[in-house]
Structure formats: structure tokens, C-alpha cells
Amino acid sequence: MSQPEKVLATDAALELIERLRAKHGDLMFHQSGGCCDGSSPMCYPLGEFLVGEQDVLLGEIGGCPFYMGKAQYEYWKHTQLIIDVVTGRGGMFSLEGPEGVRFLTRSRVFPDS
């Protein structure tokens, strides 16, 4: 039995990704768990956020790479992340800010196998 994907996106998140891609070009996501983003993954133009050895590529959502800081990943490695969209303001550096919505990470624990 194969392992479930580590990161998924809701239909609402995929629609927002497409709107943002039309405005900004290719995109990427990063979730660090730091003070500025909490449960909100940050969306950037592809390559604008520099990833390094302390980042883990979890997969892609809407064709966009999704990274998480290694320290945060250690806490979340047994979960599947579901990226959703809610009304409100997220991290000030994330591209969706002017849209009046923000990306939000929900999660569920992987079943034991």
C-alpha cells in the first residue's frame, strides 16, 4: 500500500492558486511555523523565497512546490497537510493578502500501516 500524499489542496485553494498564477507567474509555498505565518503557508513567486538544507519538499499543490522548514516538519511528519482558503488576512508577505483571503493549513494524522 502506498503512502498518502503529504500535502493536498482543496478546490478553493486550487482556484486561488490559479488566480495568483495569472497575476504573478509560477508560484511556490513555504511553511516554517515561525511567528509570521503560524498555520498559514506563505505563497511567493517561484524562486523568491530561497530554500536550503533546512527545508523539506513535501510535494506540489496546483503544480506549485510546497516546502516546510525541517524543524516544523519533525512535528508534522506523521500528518497529511490540507491547504485550504479562509476569509481574512494571512502573512503580510504572502501573495494572497490583497485578495481578502488567506491560505490555511489543516491536517490529519496518517493512519498506522
Model confidence at 2, pLDDT cuts 50, 70, 90, reads confident
The predicted model gives 37-54 an average pLDDT of 87
The overall average pLDDT reported for the chain is 89
For 4-26, what is each residue's pLDDT tens digit?
A: 899 999 999 999 999 999 999 99
**Which set of grid coordinates corresponds to residue 15?**
482556484
- In a domain? residue 2: no
What local confidence, expressed as pLDDT, does residue 1 receive? 60
Query: Cα separation of 54 and 99, whole Å?
Result: 30
Domain hosting residue 15, numbered range: 7-109
If one counts the domains in the chain, the total is 1
Q: Is residue 1 part of a domain?
A: no
Residues near 45 by Cβ (< 8 Å), separated by ≥ 6? 24, 25, 26, 27, 28, 95
For position 110, what pLDDT does the model report? Answer: 76
- Residue 96 belongs to domain with CATH number: 2.60.300.12
Q: Is the pTM of this model over 0.75?
A: yes
Instruction: Give the residue-averaged pLDDT of 73-100.
Output: 88
